[in-house]
Amino acid sequence: QVQLVESGGGLVQPGGSLRLSCAASGRIFSIDTMAWYRQAPGKQRELVATITSSGSTNYADSVKGRFSISRDNAKNTVYLQMNSLTPKDTAIYYCKSELTIWGGIRGPREYWGQGTQVTVSS
């Protein structure tokens, strides 16, 4: 049906940068809002950033000025550029897409990726 696959995670030193990607595939009719979440061990999943189909963005206060979300509608892909990383950014990062599939009659639904690990450590 629909798959969201994250990539780009890994180990990075404090102050470093990573660029995450999330590609959606399947019988997609349209994609509305896309978002990045993260979840650290023992903590709840937190919203990091969102981007609408028109490109409007919102960020959690903890990442404002450091992270940037973008999307390539032609590729059904959302990106998260992460700069000035700190150990507190260590988490599994998940992408979420609100989208409609071909033949869908109930409007947009939420789809989640499996996550990619980001570890910030020296």
Query: Left, alpha or beta for 103 (phi > 0: left; psi -120 to 50: alpha)?
Result: left
What is the reported pLDDT for 107?
87
Rg, Å, the chain Cα set = 14
Identify any residues that bridge with 5 across adjacent strands, giving them in sequence order: 23
* Structural contact between residues 77 and 113, judged by C-beta atoms closer than 8 angstroms: no
pLDDT along the chain (122 residues), means of 10: 95 98 95 97 96 96 98 96 98 97 88 97 94
**How much is the pLDDT for 28?**
94
Residue 54 φ/ψ, nearest 5 degrees: -95, -5
State the CB neighbour count (10 A cutoff) for residue 103: 7
Distance CA 79, CA 77 (A): 7
